[in-house]
Structure 1
Amino acid sequence: MLTHTLKYAYFPGCVAQGACRELHQSTVALTQALDIELIELKKAACCGSGTFKEDSQMLEDTVNARNIALAEQLNLPLLTHCSTCQGVIGHVDEHLKQCQKTNPAYLEQVNGLLQKEGCSPYRGTTEVKHLLYALVTDYGLEEIQKRVNRKLTGLKCAAFYGCYLLRAQKSMPYDDPFQPKAMENVFRTVGAEPIYYKGRTQCCGWPLSSYATAQSFKMAGMHIQEAIEAGADCIVTPCPLCHLNLDSRQKEVEKVIGRELDLPILHLPQLIALAVGVSPKELGLDRHIVSTKPVLEKLGFI
């Protein structure tokens, strides 16, 4: 049983405040329903989604050292609901903590750049944690189960983890990077049935989409088809970039692969929040490109 309110420094990221506003909306709704306190890091910058290092590793490290330092000022873990942000910021945190031991001169350079901009230094005193693992390891599945008042019985959910969540960091203390279980355990906790398929731990194709669009859409289409063939009613993802490629571009994907798909793609907090009594409207389920109506009908919401 939780003996205190969990509190996090909340890093919403860019996509959840833009193209996937329903992710921010549902994260806030879920954490409020679970009595988790979020303090939004309104001065945080975009993590760069892995592109900064193509120009400069120092740039990626400095920008994200600043993001982490904002959480350190609050003496709180940095919480993100984006697999890509977790991968990038988590990797920087891992790298700079290693530098404290093996390359302090590099860390001094990073902190020197932060100091020039009037920013607090990176100290390596907190951790970067995705919402999925905060719920599973900090809050606990048993506690979530106690809050479930509308079991998602009969709903077949296919997880799509996103590669950044699983393999961007050298250390993965909360799950197996190749055979993860966390999302499927969450599905069972809220009464849904996990569906297993080959693409659940692979890349959605988003990183290719700006320069190899057809290949990107073929990757997304392959994963969606596999989930459909395995019997899924929906795909659930903890990454808004994966959501963009699988949901907002699904109609374009259909044209590339020459097959109708029409599979709803849910954000992880939307799924859990439905089970703990938050209404579909509050979760922005009407904002998706692929209609979530079949999921809501199956669950008896409409």
Structure 2
Amino acid sequence: MTLKYAYFPGCVAQGACRELYMATHALTQALGIELVELKKAACCGSGTFKENSLLLEDTVNARNIALAESLNLPLLTHCSTCQGVIGQVDERLKAAHQSNPAYLEKINGLLQQEGCSPYKGSSEVKHLLWALVGDFGLESLQQKVTRKLEGLKCASFYGCYLLRSQKHLPYDDPYNPQSMENVFRAVGATPVDYRGRTQCCGWPLSSYATTQSFKMAGGHIQEAIAAGADCMVTPCPLCHLNLDSRQPEVEQVIGERLGLPVLHLPQLVGLAVGIAPQELGLDRHIVSTRPVLDKLGL
């Protein structure tokens, strides 16, 4: 049976990290996964809406989930921040069915005023990582590999939203996750362990505490390099911005040359299933991915 999802691409993958949008489409097509893009979906708010209004965050994302529910499909995102925010809203509103029905009624009343479908709590919010591990399956993924990534040492960077925003984390342990490492093994790569893989990248601080943000990002990259990593791999485009796009600025702050490639998760998996590097947008990064491709003989 074909896996099918209501696809929530989020904002960053349609702008600053366009290569993630490209890689997700290329990978899902190669795996036979069908995506129905939610063209009318709104930005999840990246956790900022609730600073002024929890009702705003819940209403905006109830609408996003309702769009998926209207298709009778789970909502799929490839952004850890979107997963954390929308997943947390979904948990909160599903609990409200029993604990606070008046609040849920208020949200659905606001949606009705805008001509939107009501939130029912009938769908799931699922990151691409969870879909690969839990739905597609690691054994099936291994069977799709046409280019084993042997000898490539990968340092995962989960970030914080994916692991700790929701009360119930599927398929993994929020404090000692292994899902990305298991994906690495499935495609023939070698996982590299280091302390910072489950910590914040520093992106949320970058607009008002830039130096501290870049020191955080630089520390993580330094640890990964010291552990022998050929690249970092992240399931979050916001983490990617701080670790890749701003790596030259990070280098200036910490006073050290880094030069560590940072891949999006679907790019790494895409290479293993035989997708061309250019189709995955690997030529769009700030830090060159050429050392990774050279190591793989591409």
Q: TM-score normalised by the shorter chain: which range applies?
A: over 0.9
Q: Match of 1:203? A: 200
Q: Match of 1:98? A: 95
Stretches of structure 2 lacking an aligned partner (at least 5 in a row): none
Deviation at 1:173, TM superposition (A): 2.4
Partner residue of 1:248 out of 245, 248, 262: 245
- Post-superposition, which runs of at least 4 consecutive aligned residues in structure 1 deviate over 2 A? none
* Pair 1:142-2:139 in alignment: yes
Partner residue of 2:24 out of 27, 32, 35: 27
* Pair 1:213-2:217 in alignment: no
1:101-120 deviation per Cα after TM superposition (whole angstroms, max 9, x unaligned): 10000000100100000000
The residue type paired with residue 236 of structure 2 is C
Q: How does 1:199-278 map to 2 (within 5 A)?
A: 199-278=196-275
SS in 1 for 2:118: coil
Q: Match of 1:107? A: 104
Give the number of aligned pairs: 298
2:5 touches 2:35 (CA, 8 Å); kept in 1? yes
SS in 2 for 1:153: coil
**Overall identity of the aligned pairs, in %:** 79
Deviation at 1:254, TM superposition (A): 0.3
Q: Match of 1:174? A: 171
The residue type paired with residue 77 of structure 1 is P
Q: Match of 1:15? A: 12
Q: CA RMSD in A?
A: 0.3
SS in 2 for 1:281: coil
1:8-37 deviation per Cα after TM superposition (whole angstroms, max 9, x unaligned): 000000000000000000000000000000
SS in 1 for 2:108: helix
SS in 1 for 2:6: strand
Q: Match of 1:128? A: 125
Q: Match of 2:152? A: 155
Partner residue of 2:81 out of 55, 80, 84: 84
Q: TM-score, normalised by structure 1?
A: 0.98
Q: Tell me how far apart the structure 1 counterparts of residues 261 and 110 of structure 2 sit (CA, whole Å).
A: 44
Q: Tell me how far apart the structure 1 counterparts of residues 106 and 251 of structure 2 sit (CA, whole Å).
A: 48
* Pair 1:58-2:52 in alignment: no
1:249-302 deviation per Cα after TM superposition (whole angstroms, max 9, x unaligned): 00000000010000000000000010001000100000000000000000000x
Q: Tell me how far apart the structure 1 counterparts of residues 38 and 194 of structure 2 sit (CA, whole Å).
A: 36
Q: Match of 2:280? A: 283
Q: Tell me how far apart the structure 1 counterparts of residues 242 and 121 of structure 2 sit (CA, whole Å).
A: 34
Partner residue of 2:191 out of 181, 190, 194: 194
2:76 touches 2:128 (CA, 8 Å); kept in 1? yes
Q: Tell me how far apart the structure 2 counterparts of residues 227 and 67 of structure 1 sit (CA, whole Å).
A: 36
Q: TM-score, normalised by structure 2?
A: 1.00
Deviation at 1:69, TM superposition (A): 0.1
Deviation at 1:162, TM superposition (A): 1.2
Deviation at 1:169, TM superposition (A): 0.6
Q: Match of 1:43? A: 40
